[in-house]
Amino acid sequence: MDDRLRVFTGSASARLGVQVCETLEVVPAAYECRRFPDGEMQIEVQETVGGCDVFLLQSTSPPVEQNLMEFLLLADACRRSGARRLTAIIPYLGYARQDRRADRRSLGARVMANLIATAGFDRLMLVDAHSSAMEGFFDIPLDHLTAVPLLARAAAPAMHEHSVVVAPDLGAVKRAREYARLLRLPMAFVHKTRLSGENVEAHGVIGDVRNRAPLVIDDMLSTGATIEAASDALRAAGALEPITVAVTHALLAGRARDVLRKAPISRLIVSDTVTIEPPAVSQLEVTSIAPLVATAIRRAFRDESLSDLCVPA
């Protein structure tokens, strides 16, 4: 690659960043993150970035505030050091689910967008953001990349003529349709109501799942409540067990590991947008998005189209 390319990787995406740089055949750009006794951070770039195209890779996964601040400070250091063009790559965007205002609640997705905008990025790349509505919160060009083809490819060997793709709620129907197209399978969806952050109620399944092996898909698995409710609904509708689950972002927060241990899940196929900490989950299969991110960086650096890497319109 051209020596004007610089790829910085934040601590939240360190493992992914190493793979991305290996694919690009570049050395990860170096910086130092100092922590002061009061908890504040200070970033010092240890590379020449003047006149360079700089790509910053960092998921704003838990702890969101800490990872976001590191990301913003790194961007500021690069900008003040003379970066010619600054591109943000955020594999997992925290607060993206807070994209609709209700009553007197805050609009977290908009606040995140405003904070990211302060860093002076020229371009932003997200991976399977919770809603396509996120694009409307940003004034800079946004490429909404998708890991669905990679995850569908990983799931394909276990699929057969009696498999069915299942969206666990209405919000995942568009994503399920893309899985169904790639795998050439029928689809169904679960009618779900979210009662709280950890409680979900399923009202039934729309579509034929009886005596079929379900592939339940979603953009993320947080507490596991949605997957738990979908499993119960599928069992009641006569679907075969165990089921396969494919999600882009495996947050595994709260009681998620307990839910997965009890649920009839044989395979949990996820990407590495979020670093999964121990304890291990026995069903877990990780598919790396490094090829996707590396291709996006290479094309963006060369001012080539990314349209075939993005979520279908």
Q: Are residues 127 and 198 in the same domain?
A: no
Q: Are residues 80 and 153 in the same domain?
A: no
Q: Of the listed 144, 192, 212, 249, which one is catalytic?
A: 192
Tokens encoding 29: 């750009």
How many domains does the chain contain in total? Answer: 2
Look at 10 and 103; give whichever has higher pLDDT: 10
To the query of whether residue 262 is one of the catalytic residues in this protein, the response is: no
Q: Are residues 40 and 161 in the same domain?
A: no
Reported as a single tens digit per residue, the pLDDT across 56-97 is 999 999 999 999 999 999 999 999 999 999 999 999 999 998
Q: Are residues 185 and 235 in the same domain?
A: yes
Q: Over range 99-110, report the average pLDDT.
A: 87
Q: Are residues 37 and 137 in the same domain?
A: yes
Q: Are residues 45 and 139 in the same domain?
A: yes
What does the alpha-carbon distance between residue 115 and residue 79 come to, in Å, rounded to a whole number?
15
Q: Which CATH number does the domain housing residue 263 bear? A: 3.40.50.2020
Q: Are residues 242 and 298 in the same domain?
A: no
Q: 98 φ, ψ to 5°?
A: -90, 65
Give this prediction's pTM: 0.94
The chain-wide mean pLDDT, for the chain, equals 93
CA angle centred on 259, ends 254 and 261, rounded to 5°: 120
Is residue 313 predicted with pLDDT exceeding 90? no
What does the alpha-carbon distance between residue 62 and residue 66 come to, in Å, rounded to a whole number?
8
- Residue 183 domain boundaries: 148-287
At 2 the pLDDT is 76
Confidence of residue 151 (pLDDT cuts 50, 70, 90): very high
Q: Are residues 111 and 212 in the same domain?
A: no
Q: How many CB atoms lie within 10 A of CB 187?
A: 22
Is residue 156 predicted with pLDDT exceeding 80? yes
Give Cα 12 distance to the centre of its chain: 13
Is residue 198 predicted with pLDDT exceeding 80? no
Number of alpha helices (DSSP H) and beta strands (DSSP E) in the chain: 8, 14
Say if strands 123-127 and 85-90 run parallel, antiparallel, or are unpaired: parallel
Q: Is 276 left (phi over 0), alpha (psi -120 to 50) or beta?
A: beta
Q: Are residues 165 and 253 in the same domain?
A: yes
Q: Are residues 304 and 216 in the same domain?
A: no
Q: Are residues 191 and 233 in the same domain?
A: yes
Nearest to 122 by CA among 93, 86, 98: 86
Is residue 116 predicted with pLDDT exceeding 80? yes
Q: Are residues 175 and 43 in the same domain?
A: no
Confidence of residue 7 (pLDDT cuts 50, 70, 90): very high
Q: 82 φ, ψ to 5°?
A: 95, 20
What does the alpha-carbon distance between residue 105 and residue 270 come to, in Å, rounded to a whole number?
31
Reported as a single tens digit per residue, the pLDDT across 26-39 is 999 999 999 999 99
